[in-house]
């Protein structure tokens, strides 16, 4: 049979088109196979290392460095004892990674192949679990169940392909009661391969909540504590040790909050704004299902991602709403003296104990000031239960408390812009006698 040139072109074109259709059909089929057989996502091949993302900011910590070796992102975590400062005046001998408590934030991109070496410089065996990650069972890090424990001096290698994006965590999963109480944890952020998969933000913060028992005067967190935690932290810092979250007015802000406390859930509250709860450690919440909130409950072993526009200038409190979680090294066995006149009592006891001062007849509001002015001693290596000086008065907050600083103008995101100056007419203050008279208020 004679085939004309024209026919040949036509038929090869048809073959090409047919090939394209077949290729598409194969893809659809492949997807169906994945769904039907429930094939794990990490079996999909890795993509080239992703670099198109806006890095997160972890206040009082950093992101872990990596290098790319043959298309794989290679990280190295070193578990080791770390002397850590929670706030000026309070240090302890903790366990952390790479000289930090908690460990540095791991950042990667969906589709990346990651290889994470873990070296153990602790005096005890350990392992690392990648909380929320979809990975092969043998990489999951539960000591004894999924792997041999990493003994002191050994280095293990975890490797898998990230086929998800979101806010994950990592932590020791061997004797975790002890090792997490000592600080062995960190955040693991996986950026989407397509940056448009989630809204672009100007500021992307990472906060890891945890809790410690450090008895005043001691130098080591007590891992046996089941309650009575007295140092409540954001990124292992207790207020006034926490760095503020600095943003420009109008910035789109994302805050990724993880909670790896031993025993407590934390309702995290932000003043002056509302936000939407946009993600959990299970993934992104469809936009129509995100609801507005001012407090988000971050329960133990979860992450919650909130997003909002910082449209309200000021110094906004940003804290756990459990009132005892914004206290430092609170003594809980003390008698209730609120409202009592203890003046005579102090004088009498001071004959025996010259430094004695009854705590709390005004509540806690005078306690921090007494300590800071040197009127009251606190045990060695401990900090006042509350506070620091603020722009208007003493701030009676401690622990899981930080400040969202929203400014019209900023020199730099990395510099604390100082205290907010309220525009005239927007500051609560003494009521004048004329105002009281005018409005019929009697004192
Ligand atoms: Cu709390």
What are the pLDDT digits (tens) for 357-402? 555 555 656 666 666 666 666 667 777 665 788 999 888 888 999 9
**Cα 385 to middle of ligand 1, angstroms:** 15
The rounded Å distance from CA 87 to ligand 1 centre is 18
| Residue 133 or residue 42, greater confidence | 133
What pTM was estimated for this model as a whole?
Answer: 0.84
Under a CB-based contact definition with an 8 Å cutoff, are residues 275 and 226 in contact? no
Residue 13 pLDDT > 50: no
In terms of pLDDT, which residue wins out, 85 or 89? 85
Give residue 400 CA to ligand 1 midpoint distance, Å.
7
Q: Would you say 294 and 313 are in contact if contact means Cβ atoms under 8 Å apart?
A: no
Least confident of 56-60, 200-204, 342-346: 342-346
8 A C-beta contact, residue 329 and residue 214: yes
Predicted local confidence at residue 365, as pLDDT:
61
310 CA from centroid of ligand 1 (Å) = 23
Cα of 39 from ligand 1 centre, angstroms: 39
- 440 CA distance to ligand 1 middle (Å): 41
Q: Over 60: is that where the pLDDT of 427 sits? A: yes
Q: DSSP labels for 146-212?
A: TB--B-TT-EEEEEEE----EEEEEEE-SSHHHHHHTT-EEEEEEE-SSGGGS---SEEEEEEEEEE
Using the mean position of ligand 1's atoms as its centre, give its distance from the Cα of residue 321 in Å: 6
Task: Give the distance (Å) from ligand 1 centre to CA of residue 260.
Answer: 11
Q: Ligand 1 mean position to 327 CA, how many Å?
A: 10
For residue 183, report the distance from its CA to the centre of ligand 1, in Å: 17
- Residue with the bigger pLDDT between 35 and 156: it is 156
Task: With cut-offs at 50, 70 and 90, classify the pLDDT of residue 18.
Answer: very low
> Rounded to the nearest whole angstrom, what is the distance from the C-alpha of residue 264 to the centroid of ligand 1?
7
Q: Does 69 score more than 90 pLDDT? A: yes
CA of residue 298 to ligand 1 center, whole Å: 9
Q: How far is the CA of 420 from the centre of ligand 1 (A)?
A: 26
The pLDDT of residue 215: 87
How far, in Å, is the centroid of ligand 1 from the Cα of 297? 9
Which domains does the chain possess?
67-197 (2.60.40.420), 203-325 (2.60.40.420), 331-381 (no CATH)
Number of helices (H), then strands (E), belonging to the chain: the values are 5, 24
How far, in Å, from the CA of 247 to the mean position of ligand 1? 24
Q: For the residues 67-87, what does the mean pLDDT come to?
A: 97
pLDDT the model gives residue 367? 60
Going from the Cα of 188 to the center of ligand 1, the distance in angstroms, rounded, reads 22
**pLDDT tens digits for 274-331?**
999 999 999 999 999 999 999 999 999 999 999 999 999 999 999 999 988 988 775 5
Q: Which residues contact 209 (CB under 8 A, 6 or more apart)?
A: 232, 233, 234, 257, 258, 259, 260, 261, 266, 268, 298, 320, 400
Decide if pLDDT at 141 tops 50: yes
The pLDDT of residue 1 is above 50 = no
Ligand 1: centre distance to CA 103 (Å): 21
Pick the residue with more confidence: 325 or 19?
A: 325
Query: Distance, CA 320 to ligand 1 centroid (Å)?
Result: 5
Output 31 or 373, whichever has higher pLDDT.
373
Kindly give the distance from the C-alpha atom of residue 36 to the centroid of ligand 1, in angstroms, as a whole number: 43
| Mean pLDDT value across residues 183-210 | 97
Distance 319 CA to ligand 1 centre (A): 8
CA–centroid distance, 277 to ligand 1, in Å, is: 18
145-167 confidence digits (pLDDT tens): 999 999 999 999 999 999 999 99
Average pLDDT of the chain to the nearest whole number: 87
| pLDDT on residue 397 | 87
Distance 181 CA to ligand 1 centre (A): 16
Contact 371, 378 (CB under 8 A): yes
Residue closest to 58 by CA, chosen among 228, 221, 256: 256
- Of 201 and 14, the structure prediction assigns the larger pLDDT to 201
């Amino acid at each position: 049979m004679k085939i004309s040139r024209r026919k040949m072109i036509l038929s090869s074109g048809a073959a090409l088109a047919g090939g394209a259709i077949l290729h598409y059909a194969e893809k659809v089929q492949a997807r169906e196979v994945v769904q039907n057989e429930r094939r794990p996502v990490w079996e999909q091949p890795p993509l080239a290392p992703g670099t198109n993302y806006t890095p997160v900011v972890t206040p009082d910590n950093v992101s872990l460095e990596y290098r790319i070796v043959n298309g794989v992102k290679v990280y190295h975590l070193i578990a080791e004892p770390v002397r850590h400062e929670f706030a000026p005046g309070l240090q302890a001998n903790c366990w952390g990674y790479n000289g930090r408590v908690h460990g540095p934030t791991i950042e990667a991109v969906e589709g990346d192949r990651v290889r994470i070496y873990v070296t153990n410089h602790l005096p005890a065996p350990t392992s690392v679990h990648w909380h929320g990650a979809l990975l092969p069972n043998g990489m999951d890090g539960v000591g004894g169940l999924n792997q041999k424990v990493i003994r002191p001096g050994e280095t293990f290698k975890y490797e898998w392909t990230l086929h998800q994006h979101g806010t994950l965590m990592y932590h020791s999963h061997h004797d975790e009661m002890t090792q997490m109480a000592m600080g062995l944890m960190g955040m693991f952020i996986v950026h989407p391969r397509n940056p448009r998969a989630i809204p672009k933000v100007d500021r992307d913060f990472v906060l890891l909540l945890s809790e410690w028992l450090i008895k005043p005067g001691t130098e080591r967190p007590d891992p046996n504590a089941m309650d009575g935690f007295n140092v409540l932290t954001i990124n292992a810092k207790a207020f006034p040790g926490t760095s503020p979250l600095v943003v420009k007015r109008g910035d789109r802000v994302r805050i990724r909050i993880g909670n790896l406390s031993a025993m407590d859930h934390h309702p995290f509250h932000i003043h002056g704004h509302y936000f939407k709860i946009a993600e959990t450690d299970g993934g992104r919440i469809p936009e129509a299902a995100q609801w507005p909130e001012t407090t988000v409950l971050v329960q133990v072993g979860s992450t919650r991602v909130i997003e909002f526009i910082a449209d309200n200038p000021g110094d906004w409190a940003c804290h756990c709403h459990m009132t005892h979680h914004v206290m430092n090294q609170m003594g809980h066995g003390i008698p209730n003296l609120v409202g009592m006149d203890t003046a005579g009592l102090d004088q009498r006891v001071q004959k025996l104990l010259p430094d004695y001062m009854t705590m709390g007849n005004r509540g806690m509001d005078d306690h921090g000031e007494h300590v800071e002015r040197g009127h009251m001693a606190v045990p060695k290596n401990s900090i006042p239960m509350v506070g620091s000086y603020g722009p208007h008065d003493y701030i009676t907050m401690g622990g899981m408390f930080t400040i969202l600083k929203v400014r019209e103008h900023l020199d730099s995101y990395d510099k604390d812009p100082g205290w907010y100056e309220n525009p005239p007419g927007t500051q609560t203050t003494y009521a004048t006698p004329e105002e009281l008279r005018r409005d019929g208020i009697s004192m």
